[in-house]
Chain A
Amino acid sequence: SYVLSQPPSVSVAPGQTARIICGGNNIGSKSVHWYQQKSGQAPVLVVYDDTDRPSGIPERFSGSNSGNTATLTISRVDAGDEADYYCQVWDRSSDHVVFGGGTKLTVL
């Protein structure tokens, strides 16, 4: 089955840029979606189809995807961005949805 790998944690100072990576075999050939989850809440979609943002998501959130790595980039990080972030793909070969293990973003 397809596996997505994420670093358990990323730390960044306020105002800086956070980059959260998601690794998978030839992930560049798939559409990657990203979710933000704050404690006790349901996940919120922040990027879909590698680079698109749902309405209401700030332009500070952006995504890229190539080769074996997809990246969620959060610019000008503030305390409100502190959350768990999960990548997700649909694996066509198995017709399964797959989530990464998640990355906890800490704002120092």
Chain B
Amino acid sequence: QVQLMQSGAEVKKPGASVKVSCEASGYAFTGYFMHWVRQAPGQGPEWMGRIDPNSGGTKYAQKFQGWVTMTRDTSISTAYMELRRLKSDDTAVYYCARGGYGNYFFGYWGQGTLVTVSS
């Protein structure tokens, strides 16, 4: 069965960077886009961008351009999301979510990674 297993919770200071991983299993990793979505406390989901694990090509939400980097390692079926220059309002749960084949809904989600930014 499809599973997305994310790395554990992180606590970071303002100005630092965080890198969250998402290990995929149960399907062909390179066959489906991987998206990253974050959700601040009490807020709705916010799409950050996606990566094509096959080519490594990325599309970032305009808000995160120049600030986020999404990468992947196909040898271990793992996607990564790095966010730099963290601020307190980047405190959120970060999810990876698998897109469908040729479509943009998310039938599979990771368990989420809580990133807390605090001095």
Binding site for B on A (CB under 8 A): 1, 31, 33, 35, 42-45, 48-49, 54, 84, 86, 88-90, 94-102
How far, in Å, is A82 (CB) from chain B's closest CB?
17
Let me know if A98 and B59 touch, CB within 8 A: no
Q: Given that A90-B104, A97-B104 are known contacts, is A42 also in contact with B47, CB under 8 Å in the complex?
A: no
Partner of B47, one of A48, A49, A96: A96
Q: A102 — which chain B residues lie within 8 A by C-beta?
A: 44
Given A96-B62, A97-B35, A102-B44, also A42-B112 (CB < 8 A): yes
Contact A100 B44, beta carbon cutoff 8 Å = yes
> What residues of chain B lie closer than 8 Å to A98, measured between beta carbons?
47
Q: When A and B form their complex, what is the total count of cross-chain residue pairs whose Cβ atoms lie within 8 Å?
A: 57
Interface of A is mostly: strand
- Residue B95 at the chain A interface, CB threshold 8 Å: yes
Shortest CB-to-CB span from B104 to chain A, Å, is 4
Output the least CB separation between B24 and chain A (Å): 15
Contact B62 A45 (CB under 8 A): no
Number of interface residues of B (CB under 8 A): 21
Question: Which residues of chain B come closer than 8 Å to A54, judged between CB atoms?
Answer: 107
Q: Residue of A at shortest CB range from B50?
A: A97
> Which 9 A/B pairs are nearest by Cβ-Cβ distance?
A90-B104, A33-B105, A97-B47, A42-B109, A102-B44, A48-B105, A99-B45, A101-B44, A45-B107
* Distance from A52 Cβ to chain B, minimum over Cβ atoms (Å): 10
Does B16 interact with chain A (Cβ within 8 Å)? no
CA distance A5 to B95 in the complex (A): 22
Specify which of A45, A49, A86 is in contact with B45 (CB 8 Å cutoff): A86
User: A45-B105, A102-B44 given. 11 additional CB < 8 A pairs?
Assistant: A33-B105, A33-B106, A35-B106, A42-B110, A45-B106, A88-B45, A96-B61, A97-B61, A99-B44, A99-B47, A101-B44
From residue A92, how far is it (CB to closest CB) to chain B in Å?
A: 10
